[in-house]
Each structure stands twice: as structure tokens, then as C-alpha cells.
Amino acid sequence: MTNIKEIAQFAGVSVSTVSRVLNNHPYVSPDKRESVLQAIDRLNYSRNINAIHLSKGKTNLIGIIIPFTNHPYYGAIVHGITKQANAIGCHIVIFETHYEREKEIQALNMLQMKQLDGIIVCSRISEMKVLLEYQKYGPIILCEDTAQAELSSISIDHYAAFSCALEYVIAKGYKKIGYSLGRKKSRNSFLRTKAFNDIMRNHQLINNKEWQFEGSYHIKDGEQLFQEWNSMMDKPEAIIITNDDTAAGFILTAKKSGITVPNDVAILGFNNDSLSEMLDITTISLPLEWIGKMAVDLFENPEVIKHVKLDYALIKRKSV
Amino acid sequence: MTNIKEIAQFAGVSVSTVSRVLNNHPYVSPDKRESVLQAIDRLNYSRNINAIHLSKGKTNLIGIIIPFTNHPYYGAIVHGITKQANAIGCHIVIFETHYEREKEIQALNMLQMKQLDGIIVCSRISEMKVLLEYQKYGPIILCEDTAQAELSSISIDHYAAFSCALEYVIAKGYKKIGYSLGRKKSRNSFLRTKAFNDIMRNHQLINNKEWQFEGSYHIKDGEQLFQEWNSMMDKPEAIIITNDDTAAGFILTAKKSGITVPNDVAILGFNNDSLSEMLDITTISLPLEWIGKMAVDLFENPEVIKHVKLDYALIKRKSV
DNA sequence: TCTTGCTCTGAAATGGGTTTCATACGGTAC
DNA sequence: GTACCGTATGAAACCCATTTCAGAGCAAGA
């Protein structure tokens, strides 16, 4: 492999001058620039980026912590991140964690060891305390509704979004209402649960713990959810499912058993995936790609810790 | 940032010894090892991985070239790659190309500049010639049915898989058969087209160019495809759609117009996504995760160029 | 006793850039 | 004429770890 030194020799200049040409610095005379360029061409030179990384102390690599790659919700966020990251000359490294602590630590260690310039956390299992420890090694952006002042975050107001969904279901006349979340212990779920409790109390409706489910991520989970619902003696009349895929799974499975939506049970989804459009599922539309874009923006300005909230929208269709 | 030199000083040894401790080399006396370990702990040292990359000439990073991240087909492959890559201590960098040449070149350049140890190409637009030029910089693995001897590949026998699908449709008594591909110009599509032509000829069935579509990737494309189909005077009775998502979109849209499957039109999908299971779509199951795993295996053994073929399976359900 | 061989250690070379600093030169303002 | 500034350039320091090489010490076998 040819290196900068050989180029310098070949071109009859110093390595500094070669470096200047390579980085488009001013103060290089046209003829020297030309001869360097020629040397590069002749010797078929290409820079060793690891040396640059070492020297500059940065890699233009952003780590993304997500539980699953293969999922519309995170897929959309990752897509947004990728687009914006590319726009600022960065690439992304995916850490698919399946909510294993160890995997998250791996990513954080790469930040510490300077292989990553920053990390965007889409969803996590590690305690906030852990993230804060690693903050000194580079910007960590959270895609969650955090109250943590020390880390920038971008999120949807999940309390408000869930409230909006619930109020709509209630306004439609349903009284026995359940919901299904991803993981109960996440920040998002905490806020959604709180919204549910508050609003049900306000309307003096029954808050039945049996109608509260979790583990809704994929289509198949909707099948499972339907089985659970179907086997209950006392069934909720409406379920808010925080994920269109699962909602779709529920509805499609229900149909096979002759249960129709919204006649037998109303379903309200989240995300506004194209699948929900196809199946006419009433849903809350979330600006997922935009979350990704904003996360990168926050990464770019690490000196200002900000907490950005994005808007949501109720998409009225036919499942409620 | 503390570095290895400071650790050496603090521990009263040479940098070589520190490096030996760090890398678990033998031939370090227990007491020196101990004092190095203590120094590391005291000074809160962490290695600069970029220096290691520079020194070792590798980064344990594998690039993945895919057109879309947000898609079940590629999602499954990426998932398989990620799993196996992690197993061998590598991480992955995603290049979402949307079939833009420039993006693919970006990835290849990162291979050249040694930021990547290798590249797995899931689908591409660049000519083979271009890939071959970059081969000297590191292993390039193709997830396609290539005849190219110089690059390792992992693929499904798309000719056979498509043949299997078509023979099944024919055996079911359909005569007017169409199909829909992703991009017509891809290697996979070439083989599928060839299979179609050969078999239709064998069975002396009409090969109507108007019944051959492309651009089928997402659910929404299925909606579009249905509109096209529906507006035809002379409609095919069966369509093989090389993508379950699009097949699902077709079927769901059809249902809204009162067209039922397979009575009015038979649909055969590809991939065996969970969505196809939900909708009882007859499909060809492809071992996508396994492709990912095998791709990493091939990456690991770059000295032997291999062309691995994986099996497929016809999943009979109710849409044909 | 001498040779061989293993354990242990550090100096120095290596990987390959970026950046600072010192210097030199030509031109302009006063 | 002198002071000052912008352009141009190279030497050397710096980023940080790995690895080779050479040598020292010590024990076992001949």
C-alpha cells in the first residue's frame, strides 16, 4: 500500500503539502498541487481512513441502538437516521440488541473507544445511570420521552398521543377498554399507562388490569393477543394496540374466527403503517422518519441539550 | 485521555508489557500484570480503537449494501448477517442505496480505505466489473445467483424456485399466468424470467408480455398492481408475485373491490413472511436469515471462492 | 560444564495520517 | 525605508497501539 510519504517523495514535496492537497487546504501553489495529484494518480494511492480517524479523533460513524432491525417502527426511524446521517457525511452502525444489556454496553464501549462519534438510542433496557456514565465519551441521543436533563432527546408526547387515542375510543361510546403495549417497563409505556389511568378515572370507567397486555411488536403477536382476548369471559369492547402490525395480526386472525372489527371489538393502532391503511385500521400516525432526522440534528449539536417533542395525528378509519 | 504510555509509566513497565496485558499475551509475570491492571483501573484507561485499527489493519466492520432497510426481505437477510457477524466479533455498517450507484461506490471506497473489512452485497445496481475492481481491497460477498467465478456468492436457485411456483400454478389448472418482479434487470429477475419463458413454452401456454410487471417491493405496490390488473381487458387468471408484501397488498386491495382470491385471480407470493401466513397466501419460502448467516461465513473464508446455493420450499395455502 | 530452550522485558520500528510551528518571500501601507 | 501581512512550504510533533527483535535470566538435559 502506498502511503502519503511515498506520494510526497514521488511528487517532490513534503507530506504536509500532500496532506494539504488531500484536504483541500489553501496555500498550495498550483504547480505543486498538480504534481501531487499526478503522483496520487500514478501510484494509485488511497487514504487509510483509520489513520485519519486516529489523527482526527473521530470516525463519522454513529451507532444506533435498537431492539429489532426487522420491524416497521424501528425500520422507519432507522431510515430517517440514515438519510440525515448521510446528509452530514456520517454512516451508521446498527446494534440490534433484543433488549440485551450486554449488547447495549458493547455499543457504548465502542463510543468510549472512539469507534463511534455518538449513539442514538431508539429503545433500551439499560438504566439511565449507565448511559450517563458514557456520556463523557460522546453525544448520546435518546428517542424517548425522557425527563433526563443531561441527555438530548427527541420524542413524541406519548402521554398526549395515547390520551388522544383513548378519548376518541371513549367518544365513540366504548366503555370496556383495554390496551396492549410493547414492554411495560419502558418510558413510553409508563406514559401511556399513566394516560390511560388518568383518563379512565376522569370518565369514571372501569380500569380492568386483565385487559392490559404487553409484548406487542409483530404481526404474530396480534394472533396471540386475539387468542387471549377471545378466551376471556369478560372481554373488552375496544383495544388500543400501540403497534399497527400487531393490530393487523389481531384483526386478520379475528376475521378467521368470524369476529369482525369494529362490530365485535374495536381496534385502534399506532404508527400508521401502510398495512394499517390497507386494512382500514384507525391509528395514531407518528412521524417516525422525522424522529430519526431530528435525532441526527441533535447529535450534530451536542453542546446544547434539547428535548424536542414531535406531533402525532389521529387517522380515523374503520376499525373503531 | 490517558494512553498506553501513561499506563506504562504509572505501572513502571514498558508499553510493550502493557500491550501484552491488554491482549492477554503470555510471558508477563503475575506481578507486572497486576500492576498494569491496577494502573488501568486507576487512570480509568480505555483503548483507542482507531489506533488498534490502524496498527492491525482491520476494523471488524462489515459493510452491507442493500437497497432498502425498511423491507421484510432485506430485513431478514440483514438480521441473519447481524447475528452471525456478532458471533464472530464483527459489527455491521448499513449502506441503504435505493439503487443509487454513488451510494454503492461510497461503500466500496470505505472498503478501499480500510474502514471496512469486507462487504456483503444483498442487491446492487453497479456492474460486476466495478465490484471486481474493488475486490483487491477485501472480500466482497454477493447474495445473488452469480456465475462470476471471482466472487463468493450465496443464493437461492431462483430459476428452480420460480419454476416450482409456476409448475404448481399450472398444475392447479391456470393457463393465463402473469408475474411481477422487483427490478427486471437484476440477476434474480433474469433467472425468473428465463424460468417463466422456458416453462410456459414447455406447456405451450401463452406468454403475454402485458401480464409481466415490475416494481414490486412494498405493500403499496400491490395496490398499484391490482389497479393495473383490474383495468385490463384481458386479465391473467393467476399472478406470481415475487414478494409477499406486494401479494398481500394486491389481495387486500382486491378484497375492497369485491374481487376474491383465488376465485377471481390466483396469487402466489414469495418469502413466506408472517403476513403471508396471516392472509393464507401460497408462497415460496426462502431461507433469508440463512443467506445472511452464510454470507458471513463466506466472508470469513475469503481464500476459498465458493458459490453456495440454498433450498426453497413451496408453502401451499389458499391463494392459488 | 556447556548447550539449548523457555520465560520475561523493553527499545524501537511500524501503521499512516493531521497539525502546529518556524521560516521565507513578495507585496503593500505609511 | 520599515513594519506588517498574506502566501507558501517543510520539519517535526502528535494521535496510539501492535509487533518485531534483541537480550537477559534461569532451568533442564547432555
Helix B15-22 and helix B30-42, axial crossing angle in degrees, nearest 10: 90
Confidence (pLDDT) at A145: 80
The interface residues of chain A toward chain B in range 260-279, judged by CB-CB distance below 8 A, are 274-275, 278-279
Q: Is the peptide bond before A262 cis (omega within 30 degrees of 0)?
A: yes
What is the torsion angle, in degrees rounded to the nearest 10, for the CA atoms of residue B239, residue B283, residue B244 and residue B295?
A: -120
B43 CB inside 7 Å of strand C: no
Q: Do B274 and A72 touch (CB under 8 A)?
A: no
Helix B30-42 and helix B4-11, axial crossing angle in degrees, nearest 10: 120
CB of B22 closer than 8 Å to CB of B14:
no
A29 CB inside 7 Å of strand C: no
State the DSSP code for B242.
S
Per-residue pLDDT at B146 exceeds 90: no
Interface mutation target, options B53, B109, B246, B257, chain A, most CBs of A under 10 Å: B53
Angle at A312 between CA A62 and CA A144, to 5 degrees: 40
CB pairs under 8 A between A and B: 122
Q: Do B93 and A96 touch (CB under 8 A)?
A: no
In degrees and rounded to multiples of 5, residue B310 shows phi and psi of -110, 160
A48 neighbourhood in chain B, CB within 8 Å: 54, 113-114
Task: Report the pLDDT averaged over residues B238-267.
Answer: 96
* Residue B281: closest CA among B273, B289, B293: B273
A278 CB inside 7 Å of strand C: no
Q: Do A50 and B115 touch (CB under 8 A)?
A: yes
* Residue B77: closest CA among B90, B64, B87: B64
Give chain D positions with protein CB within 7 A: 7-20
**Residue A257 burial by Cβ neighbours in a 10 Å radius (0-12, 13-18, 19+):** exposed
Cell reading at A71: 420491524
Q: Does B46 touch chain A (CB under 8 A)?
A: yes
Cell reading at B103: 451510494
Placement of cell 462470476 in the chain = B148
CB of A139 closer than 8 Å to CB of A302:
yes
Q: How confident is the prediction along chain A (320 residues), in pLDDT tens digits per residue? A: 799 999 999 999 999 999 999 999 988 999 999 999 999 999 999 999 999 999 999 999 999 999 988 888 898 999 999 999 999 999 999 999 999 999 999 999 999 999 999 999 999 999 999 999 999 999 999 998 877 778 999 999 999 999 999 999 999 999 999 999 998 888 889 999 999 999 999 999 999 999 999 999 999 999 999 999 999 999 999 999 999 999 999 999 999 999 999 999 999 999 999 999 999 999 999 999 999 999 999 999 988 899 999 999 999 999 99
B258 CB inside 7 Å of strand C: no
Confidence (pLDDT) at B224: 96
CB of A123 closer than 8 Å to CB of A186:
yes
* Residue A128: closest CA among A149, A109, A111: A149
Residue B171 to chain A, least CA–CA distance (Å): 27
- Ordered strands of the B177-180 beta sheet: B212-213, B177-180, B238-241, B266-271, B282-285, B313-315
Interface mutation target, options A61, A70, A274, A277, chain B, most CBs of B under 10 Å: A70
Query: With helix as H, strand as E and coil as C, how does B130-159 read?
Result: HHHHHHHHCCEEECCCCCCCCCCEEEECHH
Q: pLDDT band at B149, cuts 50/70/90? A: confident
Cell reading at A21: 492537497
Per-residue pLDDT at B192 exceeds 90: yes
Cell reading at B56: 492491525
Q: How many helices (H) and strands (E) does chain B have?
A: 13, 12
Give the three-state DSSP class for A91: strand
Confidence (pLDDT) at B313: 97
Give the three-state DSSP class for B173: coil
The interface residues of chain A toward chain B in range 131-190, judged by CB-CB distance below 8 A, are none
B319 neighbourhood in chain A, CB within 8 Å: none
pLDDT for B278-307, tens place per residue?
999 999 999 999 999 999 999 999 988 999
Residue A162 to chain B, least CA–CA distance (Å): 25
The interface residues of chain B toward chain A in range 11-40, judged by CB-CB distance below 8 A, are none
A87 CB inside 7 Å of strand C: no
Q: Do A49 and B113 touch (CB under 8 A)?
A: yes
B115 CB inside 7 Å of strand C: no
Confidence (pLDDT) at A256: 92
Of A46, A54, A76, the CB nearest to B51: A54
Please give the nucleotide, over all strands, whose C1' is closest to the CA of residue A20. Answer: C18
Query: CA–CA separation, B151 vs B145, rounded Å?
Result: 11
pLDDT for B202-214, tens place per residue?
999 999 999 999 9
